[in-house]
Structure 1
């Protein structure tokens, strides 16, 4: 199932990666199309501006043609240059050669247009010359009017051909002019002479005028031709610009179409990936659910098999216990009578028989003992003690006793023990003797001559002590070194034939050392010898002596004190009260702060010890109300706060009025030292035990601190354990009800109330779960499964504690 789950995740990740790659590729294409569309829009905008410029140049061109003004022509030239610059700019951003060619043609047409305008301007200037000739004729005519009288013939060669109306009008005009011709002495020329001069001048000018008129007709023809060319050029210019604009628009439409296709493709990819993802999810879900169903079936089968195995192990244990017990009695009889026979008068042959009987009996006795120990270890019923003892004495006793058994062998025994280990340490001397007896016994058994060295020293950090047993025996082949620690196994067949043995000894030693929290290592060279190294935790015996030292100054420096102790956990309340009562103090104990305030209204007390987190009224409120009691019973007596909280600084407690703080779980030594500091008016440290999960023991629980509270009183310990188990079972029932009712505040309250005692006996895993429940670190939906796990763990713990009681 894990492999399938892994493959499902890999498949989905692969799908996501593939889809992501496709979407990224399409996004790149889409962005490029967006850029192209924006680019084409820019070109369209510029072409539109070109159209505007073209219309403006055409307007200026028409104005120039009409006015023939040099200023208008210059404005036209300036606008044309601007238009040409815009065309050059547009040419830099167009993408096809065809568009560039069209823009080049626009530039060419603009040049042609400018050339045409210039030519038209020249034609206009020439037309102005004709106007000048006409002006000259008019001036001579005016002179003629001044020199003589005018006639109709002077204005029309054939006046008789004119209509009556035109003739009358012209006659009236001539008469009018004649009336205004001066007739003075300045007209010295004769009429004939002046008429001759004027006639010749007019004739000359008339011929010039005739030629000018002919030329004007030619110029008018050229002008019309150039105007037509101008119109054609303008049309062609607009046509070219429209072609460019249409091509740009077509490209924009094409890019928009590609953009829509890209969006459609993205939509298709997303849809397809969603469908594939759904199919993969359904497919792997079916596989996983199928495997889960199988695993549940296997789990049930395994539970049944485990149940049968436990029953078989139990039956085997009972069988071994029964057989061992039944064997021990006749074996004791055989050994006893063998000893009696050996001490009586027997011949050599009988002595040989008795020796064989004795050796066989001892072998069977050792086998029975090994089987019993092995069975206990397998069943988890082996008991480990923690008592003070001297390590050098244990090593010396075991080594000398075994040396006496093998005194016939020529083997030197060398013992070297570090001076640090000459003080008492805490541990299980019986199990240590069992381990040393087995390993040192093997060293003597498999060594014919040479030496056996036994050394003991501490590690650099003084957390472990190491005992090494080195021999010069037969050694063990490298490939067989692991076998010596397995049950009913020997390094090779020849050992069993030559030296005997069950193959259980080293296996039992390794298991016991593991239970004690240590390690067993082997280094061996075949034919040269072996070295076994035992490493066990080192704990010096200073706790009880420290408590006694604290007790002495308290007894010396203080009289009998009256203590008020408030704690909602009845078990911790009894423990704290018990420690104080051992010191001959009077104790008033309360599980409720409200009740305590009611009772002690008229009590003279010397000391207050209170829990912080309690229902109804917490420790802070209790102290505040104690300070404000109407009859002033609080006279600044010392107040110690007991708490498992780690979220508040020490200053918070002192500012509230507490003398100091003791963090749960705490030992009698910590509590007594704190009281001694206060009573001795010493400077108070922030006394607290910080939880360090890395140093938690792998043991299910430890009664060391509890025994410290109870002064190693077995009866008192049994009572406390019984009370603890009963109250915890009751509180767990309340907790289960609160979880079913989803009563968050009640859940947190119960968890807080029962957690400290589990910490006190160092049931760290259970205490950690309760702490998380108290902080509400689990969702409501998780609580049922969490409680189920908690219940399983507490059942195991209570079962083990009941064994302690037995």
Structure 2
């Protein structure tokens, strides 16, 4: 499929940039407008303050005018003082208002208000003076009234003395009464106390009254003049008051106009903001829709591309799976005849052959070993690429691993004059936790290469802790041909050699170092190379360092002594007679009492009447499997069963560890297992130690292409040769019988029976490390076994078992 560049991320980025730019612009505009708006708000508030002050000034002026009118009316000094206090307060308020007005015109108007107030005060003072002058007339009137009262005291009669309302009398009556009053006044006797005569008194009174009347006339004329002045001043007062109000109204109107102007600007700002926000929302919506359409369009295309990629990916995975299956199948099909070739070559090499034939056998063997290594490398590479490689974390001794690998390789290249020097730091003598098998695989490859490319000189292997104690390093230095600097990276690539001549001269597939580098990376370390062409190479392996802190029993003898502190009774159940005998032998060597059964039903019958301490049982057995056995045992009322530990033995890889513990098993041992593992498991149970979780699903791996190894079996039997030969005899006989049953089941294509037989006999083949045979049995054990593969698998199995049994017969002899 043609690769098409996707512009979706760019479009998404542009859409975000455009929206961000829009938001930024709108934000900046809103910020600017908000600043303007706040300033207008401050101005409006300021104008409102001025309006309030002007209104307060109006109120105070009205109050001052009221006090002024009261002063004019009462002519009271107290009221005048109150007026003056209020006027001073008004002047103070005017000064305050002057400080907050913004125009010179307003300040001038306020100055005129202050001036008018001063004029108003002067005017009131003048009116007050006029009022004081008007009081002279009152004094004259009082004098005339007093003289009139004096006339009454001199007994001069008047009409009122005889009629209460003389003006209401008729003219005749009033004239008669007046003549009578005059007559009486003329004939009133003189008062003996008066020194003046009646006539003289009348004359004095008349003259005084005449004088006062004259004065009154002058006062009335003056009053007219004062009234004119008063009226003038009152008009002036009214004019001043009107002028004050006019000036204040002008100020107020100007302030209100400014406030209205600011409010108008405020409304315009709000409208502008509203317009911009609306426009921004519309633009944002348009941009969103536009880019959404573009993105949705690209998304549709990407979905199409995704489907195409998924189809291509599926095809690629299928091809990779096919490649993996092809490599596995080809490797398997190659290893089957290779095993036959290697086996017969060894048999042929051990027979009587002449020199020429021995040369042919040697070449056949070398070629077979080369092809075997190639097949193994392809399998390892395929497993790493598929992510199926498994890593263990078990305790081991690093010096033993290094020595074993190096010594074995030295034996192969013993004809070369090469000094092997091994040095391991004493700090690494304790057990460390890791994967010893993978470490052996790495060391075998690198040390093997060192021997291969070194004709003479030395190979130095040095193991030490790194400075931070979190890693340990193993350096492999040789004095071989070395690697040119430009080719050093190539040696870690698949199917690549440093140069073409190396493959021709030394052989090799070009996979070894690539596999080593990948495995080291999986282990959490790294691989370094320092080399100079013609002067040798140094490979440095760095791996995480973790010491084993668990109970470390250094020897099996100490372990046995520890276990032999008490003898226990074990019930062992296994349908495979060979493994049954092996497990029983290990326990018997520890002086324990063992009751062995090849059938779970028989074991249950014996348990009814037998006191015991442990049960060790296989899981997949005919008649009654391990799960059914433990269920019946737990549901029974046997007095001998008191929840004793039950250890499961299994070769199944389809069940989780929790399945066994939930069923009631104490722990699980996976077949094949070593005596050491069995005894350590029993010891952990006795000491109530935490039992390690067993990876039941861990797949079996071919760790060697050799036909078999009796070392595990010898370990089981404590190197008892007689017991070994007996077990081997029994194993060969029972295996031949089982294989005959297997052949019949394969002919009948009875998958269930094939699975059962393969499962039953596989553990013993694994126990003696007949790994190629065990691999075929593992395939035959699978439920998804293809019937079309049965014939090829049987032929391969038959060939390998014939070779194995022939070799084992020689061991027995």
- Shorter chain as denominator, the TM-score bin is 0.5 to 0.7
Match of 1:533 among 513, 518, 541: 541
Cα pair 1:53 1:83 within 8 Å, conserved: yes
Q: Distance in 1 between matches of 2:696 and 2:258?
A: 80
Cα pair 1:61 1:76 within 8 Å, conserved: yes
Structure 1 position 518 matched with structure 2 position 524: yes
The Cα of 1:494 is off from its aligned counterpart by 6.9
Cα pair 1:331 1:365 within 8 Å, conserved: no
Closer, same or farther: CA 553–509 of 1 in aligned 2, 3 Å: closer
Structure 1 position 220 matched with structure 2 position 227: yes
SS in 1 for 2:421: strand
Closer, same or farther: CA 119–508 of 1 in aligned 2, 3 Å: same
The Cα of 1:214 is off from its aligned counterpart by 3.4
The Cα of 1:174 is off from its aligned counterpart by 8.9
Partner of 1:299: 306
Partner of 1:583: 614
Partner of 2:674: none
Q: Distance in 2 between matches of 1:169 and 1:83?
A: 69
Partner of 1:113: 120
Q: Distance in 2 between matches of 1:485 and 1:180?
A: 173
Q: Distance in 2 between matches of 1:557 and 1:88?
A: 118
Closer, same or farther: CA 27–130 of 1 in aligned 2, 3 Å: same
The Cα of 1:608 is off from its aligned counterpart by 12
SS in 1 for 2:530: strand
Cα pair 1:44 1:249 within 8 Å, conserved: yes
The Cα of 1:420 is off from its aligned counterpart by 5.3
The Cα of 1:226 is off from its aligned counterpart by 0.8
Q: Distance in 2 between matches of 1:585 and 1:494?
A: 59
Cα pair 2:492 2:513 within 8 Å, conserved: yes
Closer, same or farther: CA 37–107 of 1 in aligned 2, 3 Å: same
Q: Matches of residues 407-806 of structure 1 in structure 2 within 5 Å? A: 412-419=419-426, 421-422=428-429, 428-446=435-453, 451-457=458-464, 465-471=472-478, 481-491=488-498, 501-515=508-522, 517-524=523-530, 526=532, 529-535=537-543, 538=546, 540=548, 542=550, 583-584=614-615
Cα pair 2:190 2:198 within 8 Å, conserved: no
Q: Distance in 2 between matches of 1:477 and 1:170?
A: 173
1:590-619 deviation line (CA, Å, top 9, x unaligned): x9xxx99x989999996799xxxxxxxxxx
SS in 2 for 1:416: strand
Structure 1 position 370 matched with structure 2 position 401: no
Q: Distance in 1 between matches of 2:175 and 2:513?
A: 162
The Cα of 1:66 is off from its aligned counterpart by 1.3
Q: Distance in 1 between matches of 2:313 and 2:227?
A: 124
Cα pair 1:484 1:491 within 8 Å, conserved: yes
The Cα of 1:235 is off from its aligned counterpart by 1.3
Partner of 2:83: 76
Cα pair 1:473 1:530 within 8 Å, conserved: no
1:668-715 deviation line (CA, Å, top 9, x unaligned): 99999999799xxxxxx9x999xxxxxx99x997699xxxxxxx9xxx
The Cα of 1:117 is off from its aligned counterpart by 0.8
Partner of 1:271: 278
Q: Distance in 1 between matches of 2:553 and 2:29?
A: 76
Q: Distance in 2 between matches of 1:170 and 1:670?
A: 168
Q: Distance in 1 between matches of 2:306 and 2:529?
A: 41
Structure 1 position 232 matched with structure 2 position 263: no
SS in 1 for 2:420: strand
Q: Distance in 1 between matches of 2:179 and 2:560?
A: 158
The Cα of 1:487 is off from its aligned counterpart by 1.4
RMSD of the alignment, in Å?
6.0
Q: Distance in 2 between matches of 1:210 and 1:280?
A: 103
The Cα of 1:242 is off from its aligned counterpart by 2.3
Partner of 2:755: none
Q: Distance in 1 between matches of 2:15 and 2:561?
A: 66
Q: Distance in 1 between matches of 2:502 and 2:490?
A: 13
1:26-48 deviation line (CA, Å, top 9, x unaligned): 44444444444444333333333
Q: Matches of residues 81-160 of structure 1 in structure 2 within 5 Å? A: 81-139=88-146
SS in 1 for 2:543: strand
Cα pair 1:551 1:672 within 8 Å, conserved: no
Closer, same or farther: CA 195–295 of 1 in aligned 2, 3 Å: same
Structure 1 position 312 matched with structure 2 position 319: yes
Cα pair 2:430 2:547 within 8 Å, conserved: no
Closer, same or farther: CA 478–289 of 1 in aligned 2, 3 Å: farther
Cα pair 2:473 2:540 within 8 Å, conserved: no
With normalisation by structure 1, the TM-score equals 0.59
Q: Distance in 2 between matches of 1:370 and 1:501?
A: 10
The Cα of 1:12 is off from its aligned counterpart by 4.3
With normalisation by structure 2, the TM-score equals 0.58
Cα pair 1:416 1:455 within 8 Å, conserved: yes
The Cα of 1:550 is off from its aligned counterpart by 14
Match of 1:286 among 277, 289, 293: 293
Cα pair 2:563 2:683 within 8 Å, conserved: no
Q: Distance in 2 between matches of 1:802 and 1:463?
A: 42
Cα pair 1:19 1:270 within 8 Å, conserved: yes
Q: Structure 1: any 5+ residue segments left out of the alignment?
A: 153-162, 561-580, 610-641, 644-661, 679-684, 690-695, 705-711, 713-798
1:460-518 deviation line (CA, Å, top 9, x unaligned): 89775542323455655666544332213345667667766443221111222334x23
